[in-house]
Amino acid sequence: MREPEGVLDARYSSPGTRAHDWSEAEELLTGAELFWLATVRPDGRPHVTPLIAVWHDGALHFSTGGDERKARNLAANPQVVLTTGRNDWARGYDLTVEGAAVRVTDDGRLRELAAAWEAKYGPAWHYEVADGCFRHGPGAALVFAVRPRKVLGFGKGEPFSQTAWTWAG
């Protein structure tokens, strides 16, 4: 994946601030522990829920049970937004990641992702892989990858900033 150039939106940025580099955003995505996933219900209403996610190989990955609301929403409409950041007005950096959630079913790739989950979140998040799913106890979890189409970064506190990164396609 090519590294996109950040474009600063001066309307929402303090004078003299700069667009952030993609490497800064990627570092935040890698280190963030909690994300908020926004999906669309079949009737058009939004659904938002917190979850953990792993940035790996140019995509943000999350998992869900196949009968959960978010999985049912994704079956009808794969377009999502994932957000992460701080719950403060005047400090930190928030990110929104827009894209389509695509199911990951290749067991080899899922084993890579399971290792990344455990490395990031510890042994409580150890998964076995079988039949295109994460397995944890008696349950199975579907895994999705979101390759960013657009990412917005919001610097909070002086200097305030809004940086956008976009990918073709």
DSSP 57-115: TTEEEEEEETTSHHHHHHHH--EEEEEE--S-SSSSEEEEEEEEEEEE--HHHHHHHHH
Total structural domains within the chain: 1
* CATH number of the domain to which 31 belongs: 2.30.110.10
Which pLDDT score is estimated for 137? 82
45 domain residue, yes or no? yes
Q: Which domain covers residue 147, as residue numbers?
A: 7-166
Which pLDDT score is estimated for 168? 77
- pLDDT tens digit string along 26-81? 999 999 999 999 999 999 999 999 999 999 999 999 999 999 999 999 999 999 99
Which pLDDT score is estimated for 24? 95
Mean predicted confidence (pLDDT) in 82-108? 96
Residue 1 has pLDDT above 80, yes or no: no
Average pLDDT, the chain: 95
